[in-house]
Amino acid sequence: MSHFKSFSKTLLGFSLVAASASFSPITQADTYDGNRDTNNRFHGEGTYTYLNGGSYQGKWKHGQKSGKGKRTWSDGTVYDGDWDNNAPDGKGVKTYSDGSQYSGNFSNGEHAAQGTMKWRNGDIYVGNWKKGKPDGQGTKQFANGESYTGEFNAGDQSGQGKYIYADRSRYEGNWKHNAPHGRGTLTLVSGDKYIGNFLQGQPEGFGEFFYSNGDRYTGQWKNGKRTGKGSLKYNAGGSYDGYFEHGKKSGYGILVNALGDEYVGPFKNDMAHGKGTCKQQLQKIDCEYKFGQKITSKKLQLIAKNETPIIPTAPVSTVTAVISTAPIVAAKSKFKKTIVKDIKKMSKTYSLADIPRKTSDVLFSHDFDADLMAIPEKARWKKRSALFSDNVRIESKHGTVLIAIELANYRGPGVYKIDDDRVTVTQKNKKEYQASEIKPSTITIKSDDNSWISGTFDLVLFNDSTQKPAHEIKNGVFRLSKDGKLGYQSW
């Protein structure tokens, strides 16, 4: 019998070798080194090495990975933790090939229950998981310093949540698909606050905006701007009740100033525009405005002798998430000493080469009577990031004269058109001039590294007494630093 067995093995071995040599090479396969059960299945401690790279080392149960074990993949991904039915299940740590890492609970191979995910880009999520995605309560810290704490659904910020932005502005309320959606409160770092409805991240429908200076808007919003019927109450006195479009007074409205004088009629682009009715000292007369300027002999004298505005207009908010409606205080009189009349003397042409490197300065040619360039200057710039867009403000102060330029929807270096109250010239905090859409001003940002900014500008200025340009500032150049130790930053 033993000879028969020996002969059979020899014959079988010869047959296999002959078959291999005649038809195909021997096929390589995965390998296993470890314990087995009575049915020859992997059971107990063992190591399985995959032909295509990677391995599993740990516990087995009747042929399946079960218990503690470590699995490596050919791309460098590693899982170390609990297993059940050949899948990560229970507590474990999974480090991905890009360096991201999840530590926490697994269910059937997916992130589940409680866990922490650290992404390669620096984002971190701590909270509940379901089917491999954040789901339920959790907190996500973003690499840029922002954070969200609240409800998640299938990986998205959805439900009730609080978001803190990089500039420390914050939103608290309803979310849907990673954006404010529904009822919520947005509090800006400037002190402004919006309470109302949101749609896909922007104020939409009914809402109230409380400005840091005490002004308040109550009414309709669309795409983040005042649009529809609304009411604007000024802290300094006066109000506007009527219609808005794209953030500005537009359509029929009633404007009352702090003295009780009233204009009732059409508005356009935030200015009285058209035929209406004016009331002053209880007397009503017909009146007509064109882009905020009186053009009839019967005029509404909404201006007080010193500084009450004809039409209180709205300056640009320091955060352009929502359009600010703070009234601009405009003075009727000209600069009593320095700006007497329109004298053309654009004698100097400047370029950025006129400003030494690492020097914070603003230079320009102008047609004012006073030589502003001869007055010691203070200049600065600041940029504020918020929910919807950036806002940049550039200021150049010459004695009591302040020239301010604001850019809404700032997107970095490029050419920008500025109009309306985006450019203002004030003396002793009284507004004298502003830009206008009739003849737009421009500013070109040449460079911005978030510390230094440089560029050029040309401004056309209007006052409240004529539709023609009152003054021009040409060949303006600037190079400014945020560093308080350079230039004139600490004023």
From the list 58, 61, 60, 101, the residue with the least C-alpha distance to 77 is 101
pTM beyond 0.75: the answer is no
The whole-angstrom separation of Cα 211 and Cα 138 is 32
One domain, residues 194 and 149: no
399 pLDDT above the threshold of 60 = yes
pLDDT above 90 as % of the chain: 49
159-198 residue pLDDT tens = 999 999 999 999 999 999 999 999 999 999 999 999 999 9
One domain, residues 126 and 169: no
Question: pLDDT at position 152, please?
Answer: 98
Residue 486 is assigned to a structural domain of this protein: no
Q: What CATH number is given to the structural domain containing 172?
A: 2.20.110.10
Backbone angles phi, psi at 9, to 5 degrees: -65, -40
Q: Mapping DSSP to helix (H, G, I), strand (E, B) and coil, where does residue 7 land? A: helix
One domain, residues 467 and 390: yes
One domain, residues 155 and 176: no
One domain, residues 391 and 424: yes
- Residue at which a domain ends, from 144, 163, 182: 163
* pLDDT band at 488; cut points 50, 70, 90: very low
From the list 42, 77, 45, the residue with the least C-alpha distance to 62 is 42
Residue 185 is assigned to a structural domain of this protein: yes
285-331 residue pLDDT tens = 999 998 888 775 433 333 333 333 333 333 333 333 333 333 322 32
One domain, residues 150 and 173: no
One domain, residues 389 and 436: yes
Residue 21 is assigned to a structural domain of this protein: no
Residue 214 is assigned to a structural domain of this protein: yes
The whole-angstrom separation of Cα 112 and Cα 379 is 55
With 0-12 / 13-18 / 19 or more C-beta atoms within 10 angstroms meaning exposed / middle / buried, residue 269 is: middle
Tokens 């659904």 locate to 153
One domain, residues 133 and 67: yes
Task: Please list, residue by residue across 289-303, b when 16 or more beta carbons sit within 10 angstroms of its beta carbon and e when fewer do.
Answer: bebbbbeeeebbbbb
Q: Which domain holds residue 385?
A: 352-481
One domain, residues 158 and 63: yes
Question: pLDDT at position 20, please?
Answer: 37
One domain, residues 65 and 176: no
The upper half-sphere exposure of residue 321, i.e. CA atoms within 13 Å in the direction of its Cβ, equals: 27
Amino acid at site 226: R
* pLDDT band at 111; cut points 50, 70, 90: very high
With 0-12 / 13-18 / 19 or more C-beta atoms within 10 angstroms meaning exposed / middle / buried, residue 351 is: exposed
What lies within 8 Å, CB to CB, of 47 at 6+ separation is: 32, 33, 34, 55, 56, 57
- Residue at which a domain ends, from 105, 131, 163: 163
* pLDDT band at 472; cut points 50, 70, 90: confident
One domain, residues 128 and 242: no
CA 382 to chain centre: 15
Residue 334 is assigned to a structural domain of this protein: no
Residue 491 is assigned to a structural domain of this protein: no
One domain, residues 248 and 198: yes
Residue 397 is assigned to a structural domain of this protein: yes
- Residue at which a domain ends, from 163, 182, 214: 163
264-297 residue pLDDT tens = 999 999 999 999 999 887 888 999 998 888 775 4
Residue 470 is assigned to a structural domain of this protein: yes
Degrees, nearest 5: CA angle 7-13-15: 100
Q: How many domains does the chain have?
A: 3
119 pLDDT above the threshold of 70 = yes
